[in-house]
A and B are shown apart, each in its own frame.
Chain A
Amino acid sequence: MKPEQIATVDPFDFIMIPTDQNQQLQFKFGNPLLEESASTISKKIGDFEGKYYSFITSLFSSQYRLYFDVDNQYILRKLTLLHAPIIYKGDWTLNDESQKFSQTKNIHSLDLYLPLMGLITLVLLRCLNAAISNAIQYTSIYMINTFWKCLLVSAIEVVITRILFCLFGNFKVTIIDLISTSNYKYCNLSTLYIFNLITFHIFSAVATIYILFSQAIFVYKSSQICIEKHDQNNQEHENSFEPTLAFIISMLQITCSCVLLYVL
């Protein structure tokens, strides 16, 4: 005789709460508004995440990436140009607009890698020297103070340069170009610092004068790139103040370098 199929019954069925009762419990002890607000917040977080990723992607693919499009060869040539600008004679202006963003092909184009690395190198060198000579008690605070002093001087210089460009009728020069041009001095100052450390400050005066002179020439010739760009857009207006403006900017650069040497 075939045994009948008997449906088994779970002995723990009494624990299972029916869905109706579950909803009633939620209504009694929970707050549906909380669920709604939680879902709204999660949606907003999802929207923010999408906007964030699109912003980051657009930022890294914007024109700012071209200021970091450098390679080893460019860096070496640019450092040579910074420390010995007399070697590169002739006109430094860019013949073609496309060459502005071709760092690997034209060393006269502007970048942000060298100024940034120069700034950090200078700050660390100063801190290292001060810590070795036991001139400071708290290295970390000194490091941060040095960094902020450099940034402040650079910011003031960029603002003054921008005002000068506006006074001379150049409104279209970009802040990024000015930041790049004016902050190459950190590479020169870092080199000066290392030289003084190696030579125990014997030739400090001569080295300082040479570095400041190199900076002046570099800025004088580099600022013409920004001035030339404006002249290309406005060919009718003859900018007779071009050498004057470049000279003033180079003097400003020397002044800021001297301030940094005094402050640091």
Chain B
Amino acid sequence: MQPLKNPFGIIDPNEKPKQYQNNPFDIQNEELNETIKLGDNVVYQEEKQLLFDQSKQQPLETVEDISLLEDLDITSPLLIKSRIMSVLFFQKCDSEYLEDPDLSGPLLIVVSLGLLPLFTGRVHFNFIYGIGVWGWLLLYFLMNFMIQQQGKQIEFYKILSYLGYGLSQIVILSILSLFKELNNSFGYALAITCAIWSTASVSKTFDTILGLQHRRFLIAYPLFLFYCTFVIITIF
């Protein structure tokens, strides 16, 4: 014998059915003017009512209200875009970026920094990544030694994230080098500008986090050297 499917039987045993005629297990639906017979596979009576009564339907949210990425809970591209903009234009860093930085953006930036010189016939993957890793390690130890007096410590991945986003300006320089030769006075001035630009934005981030009182320039100088290294590799 197949199991009987009666919605009233499982929801509340004390709840009385609305109406029934002849067969006590049949349910009379006055709104739809029909009888739900015993054995009918009607699971959601309310949904069935809505199908026939359009006026009771709640307005569905339009597609324009929620983007597909937000609907799918994929926020990385938006996050990367907002953080790159905050680094490039000295916008105020959101607290979420300072507390929980991501590595997807820096990874994208570093990969593009390695791929762009390919268009000019230069293969610098090993130098970019090697110098980047050594510079990152050096800055990690240097900063943690310098801020230890204040009882603070900064993690590996945070420094990598901040440094990585600071390379956005170098990527712009690398894109410009595709269209114009930068081994001249204009290129040198542009390179120094990009290095100072990167240094200023990243040192501002570190200053916000670490609260450096008399050491901002002492932190900014190694950052400047770090970005100058990439600038030299990009131009020459």
Q: Find B218's partner among A113, A124, A139, A140 (CB 8 Å cutoff).
A: A113
Q: Is the CB of B148 within 8 A of A61?
A: yes
> Interface with A: B90-98, B139-147, B162-170, which one?
B139-147
Q: Does B5 contact A (CB under 8 A)?
A: yes
| Of the residues A8, A68, A117, A141, contact of B221 by C-beta under 8 Å | A117
Q: How large is the interface on A (under 10, 10 to 19, 20 to 34, 35 or more residues)?
A: 35 or more
Q: Are B215 and A72 interface neighbours, CB within 8 A? A: yes
- Known contacts being A61-B148, A72-B214, A131-B236, is A8 close to B229, with CB within 8 Å? no
Cα separation A65 to B6 with both chains bound (whole Å)? 74
Chain B positions within 8 Å of A263 at CB level = none
Beta-carbon nearest neighbor of B2 in chain A: A9
Does any Cβ of B come within 8 Å of A128's Cβ? yes
Set B127, B153, B225: member contacting A60, Cβ < 8 A? B153
Q: How many A-B pairs fall under 8 Å by CB?
A: 88
B178 contacts A by Cβ under 8 Å: no
**Interface hit among B7-15, B50-58, B67-75:** B7-15
Flag if B144 contacts A131 (CB, 8 Å). no
- Is B127 a contact of A140 with CB atoms below 8 Å? yes
Q: By the criterion CB–CB under 8 Å, are B24 and A68 in contact?
A: no
Q: With A60-B153, A65-B145 given, is the CB distance from A8 to B225 under 8 Å?
A: no
A79 at the interface (CB under 8 A from B): no
Q: Which residues of B contact A65 (CB under 8 A)?
A: 145-146, 148-149
Tell me if A8 and B10 are in contact (CB < 8 A). yes
User: CA of A60 to CA of B6 in the docked complex: distance in angstroms?
Assistant: 69
- Docked Cα-Cα span, A1 to B24, in Å, equals 6
A128 contact set on B, CB distance < 8 A = 232
SS of B interface (majority) = helix
Q: Say yes or no: A139-B9 contact (C-beta < 8 A), given A8-B3, A71-B215, A124-B225.
A: no
Knowing A113-B218, A124-B225, say if A68 contacts B232 (CB, 8 Å): no
> How many chain-B residues does the 8 Å CB contact rule pick out?
37
Neighbouring B residues of A5 by C-beta, 8 Å: 9-10, 13
Is A18's CB within 8 Å of the partner chain B?
A: no
CA distance A4 to B8 in the complex (A): 10
- A4 neighbours in B (Cβ, 8 Å): 9
Q: Give 1 or 0 for each of B113-145: 1 = CB within 8 Å of chain A CB.
A: 000000000001001000100000010001011
Any chain B CB within 8 A of the CB of A31? no
Check A72 against B217 for contact (C-beta < 8 Å): yes
Is B222 in contact with chain A by the CB < 8 A criterion?
yes
Taking beta carbons and an 8 Å cutoff, which residues of A are in contact with B? 1-9, 56-57, 60-61, 64-65, 67-73, 75, 113, 116-117, 120-121, 124, 127-128, 131-132, 139-141, 143-144
Given contacts A71-B214, A113-B142, 19 further A-B contacts (CB under 8 A): A3-B8, A3-B9, A3-B24, A5-B9, A8-B3, A9-B3, A57-B153, A60-B153, A67-B145, A68-B145, A70-B218, A71-B215, A72-B218, A117-B221, A117-B222, A124-B228, A140-B131, A141-B127, A143-B131
The 3 A-B pairs at the shortest CB distance, nearest first, are namely A140-B127, A68-B145, A131-B236
Pairs across A and B, CB under 8 Å, 24 listed? A3-B6, A3-B25, A4-B9, A5-B9, A5-B10, A6-B9, A56-B153, A60-B153, A67-B145, A68-B145, A71-B214, A71-B215, A72-B214, A72-B217, A73-B214, A113-B142, A117-B225, A121-B225, A131-B232, A131-B235, A139-B236, A140-B124, A143-B131, A144-B127
